Structure 1
Amino acid sequence: MLLPLLRSPFQGELLAWLFLHPDGEFSLIELARRLGVSHATASREADRLVSSGLVLERRMGNLRLIRSNQSTVVTRPLTELLAVTFGPMAIVGELLAPIRGVDRAYIYGSWAARYQGEPGPVPGDLDVIVVGAADPDDVFEAAGTAQRRLGREVNVRIVTPAAWAAPGDDPFLQSVQTRPLFELDLAV
């Protein structure tokens, strides 16, 4: 529901990862793991994207590497569209991962609901909850960077692992934990 023009959520996730990391070149094995699909699924989608000219490939022995084609006329508008739709999963976890004390992070609220298929408009902001004992200055700096890269407000709330595990009578945490959540990949 984030971008119903695309054939599948995986296609959006893959395109977002490639176009929001324009200097990167990624193996299909790495992308399949990161995006939670089989190597065969990643390979089929890469074939489609390479044949369309949106993605370039290079082979090193048996390793197939792909990257976004930055020289097409659609690169800039496609990158902007991907940033506001599938961009949060490609950017936010990557920015939070190196921060000491971040145990887990989730996107909640309207973006997570749309990602889970709940109908509605594209969200205007992004709500993120960080579980851990991270330095708030570091977390809010990462949120600011994400905000600039995604072109939307990024709201962050930090909670301790104990509060997350046992929300007790905290209405905010109870509400967040009963709505759609998207756990961010913090693997660097």
Structure 2
Amino acid sequence: MKMASPMLLPLLRSRSQGDILAVIMLDPQRERSLSEIAEETGTSVSTVVREVDRLEEGGLVATKRRGNTRLVRAVTDSVVYKPLADLLAVTFGPAAVLRKALAEVPGIERAFIYGSWAARYAQRAGPVPDDIDLLVIGEPDRHVLADAVAEAESVLRREVNVRRVSTQAWVAGNGSFKQTVLSRPVVDVIGTHHE
């Protein structure tokens, strides 16, 4: 079954293609193995291999072997790198960029994107959102969290609206906010959905 082009960037063939490109292009200093890219994007290794092969043929990524492992990195001196990275940052970037920014923030049990960006990611029609809604569950230090979010905002070029809820309040809560958020698409950034 052929998948529709992604709502976030209909120029691409698939959401997997956008996720793979975002992970590689928005963290260009890091070399990743094909299996790391597959894990980060929730995509099969065979899909990653196909996409990386295309990207390498087009001069957008470079690969090298370390033993049996094929490592991938963005080619940043290409004339198309900067415009492509800019486009990915405002379309597929939020999940990849926030995942990286929040990974080092202690006290986060779970974080996910909800609202209009998550809806577009789930193929619900509409324009690319102007901001990102992020729910953080846990007890992270407010200042450390704010610094991480500010770093992500500079890459994403848009505001990230953070709602912070303690783990206890989230687990105990059955209010309308929680019900509304969980009745619509969410995109996990830290932790996974168990509701």
Q: Is the 8 A contact 1:27 1:65 kept in 2?
A: yes
Partner of 2:187: 182
Counterpart-to-counterpart distance in 2, 1:178 and 1:14: 27
Q: Please, which of 136, 161, 165 is the counterpart of residue 155 of structure 1?
A: 161
1:59 aligned onto 2:65 = yes
Q: Is the 8 A contact 2:109 2:190 kept in 1?
A: no
**Is 1:171 the equivalent of 2:182?**
no
Which stretches of structure 1, 4 residues or longer, exceed 6 Å deviation after superposition? none
Q: 1:43 to 1:185 in 2, by over 3 A?
A: farther
One-letter code aligned to 1:30:
E
Match of 1:184, SS state, is: strand
CA distance in 2, matches of 1:148, 1:110: 20
What does the per-residue CA deviation read over 1:85-109, in whole Å, with 9 as the maximum and x for residues that have no partner? Answer: 1111111022112111100000000
Instruction: Tell me how far apart the structure 2 counterparts of residues 110 and 162 of structure 1 sit (CA, whole Å).
Output: 26
Q: What is the SS of the residue equivalent to 2:143?
A: helix
Per-residue deviation, 1:63: 1.0
AA partner of residue 109 (structure 1) = G
Q: 3-state DSSP class of the match of 1:130?
A: strand
Return the TM-score normalized by structure 1.
0.94
Aligned 8 A contact 1:18 1:67 in 2: yes
**Within 2, Cα distance between the matches of 1:75 and 1:122?**
21
Of residues 106, 125, 134 in structure 1, which corresponds to 2:140? 134
Of the three residues 83, 101, 109, the one matched with 2:107 is 101
Shift of 1:178: 1.4
Consecutive unaligned residues of structure 1, counting only runs of 5 or more, are none
Whichever residue aligns with residue 108 of structure 1, its letter is Y
Q: 2:127 pairs with 121, 146, 150, which one?
A: 121
Q: Deviations over 1:33-57 (max 9, x none)?
A: 1211221111111111111111111
Is the contact made by 2:108 and 2:190 (CA closer than 8 Å) also made in structure 1? Answer: no
Q: TM-score, normalised by structure 2?
A: 0.90
Aligned to 2:3: none
Q: Given the alignment of the two structures, is residue 14 of structure 1 paired with residue 20 of structure 2, yes or no?
A: yes
Which amino acid in the other structure matches residue 123 of structure 1? P
Cα offset, 1:29, TM superposition: 1.4
User: More deviation in 159-168 or 173-182?
Assistant: 159-168
For the 8 Å contact 1:94–1:185, the answer to whether it is kept is: no
